Amino acid sequence: MAWLFLLVAGLLEIGWAVGLKYTEGFSRPVPTLITVVIMIASFFTLSLALREIPLGTGYAVWTGIGAVGTAIAGIVLFNEPKDVVRLLCIGLIVAGIVGLKLASPHTGDNASTTVDQTTSRP
């Protein structure tokens, strides 16, 4: 379930990144409000995912989904360049996301992300 939350958080990140374009520097109230709501939803679902997924992995995958999705949205929605080098670099980000998923510990076990509370403090 944690990976599903992370996927949703990443998709919402794409939404708010694209939404920023439509806010025109936060000068348009309705797109600004929608963008802020999507941001909050993205952070919330990311926080749910991070209950089980290690922080570094979760954050890297979240930003990776957002970066790839936003780059593709820029190409599709805003006619940004789609040259071979740019697409290859997007592919490398996707490979990194897949690699992090494959290298992650099983998320059904919270042992990998639980902080040891028995450590004494000075």
Examine residue 21 and state whether it is found in any structural domain, yes or no.
yes
pLDDT for position 34: 98
Number of residues assigned to the chain: 122
Examine residue 90 and state whether it is found in any structural domain, yes or no.
yes
pLDDT for position 116: 43
pLDDT for position 45: 98
pLDDT for position 118: 46
- Report in angstroms the alpha-carbon separations of 122 from 1, 2, 56, 119: 38, 35, 28, 10
Examine residue 117 and state whether it is found in any structural domain, yes or no.
no
Q: Residue 90 burial by CB count (10 A; 0-12/13-18/19+): exposed, middle or buried?
A: middle
Per-residue pLDDT in tens (0 to 9) along the chain, 122 residues: 999 999 999 999 999 999 999 999 999 999 999 999 999 999 999 999 999 999 999 999 999 999 999 999 999 999 999 999 999 999 999 999 999 888 877 655 444 444 444 445 55
Give the closest residue to 3 by CA, choosing from 95, 111, 102: 102
In whole angstroms, what is the distance from residue 45 CA to residue 65 CA?
14
Domain that holds residue 65: 2-106
pLDDT for position 108: 52
Examine residue 97 and state whether it is found in any structural domain, yes or no.
yes
- How many CA within 13 A on the CB side of residue 93? 18
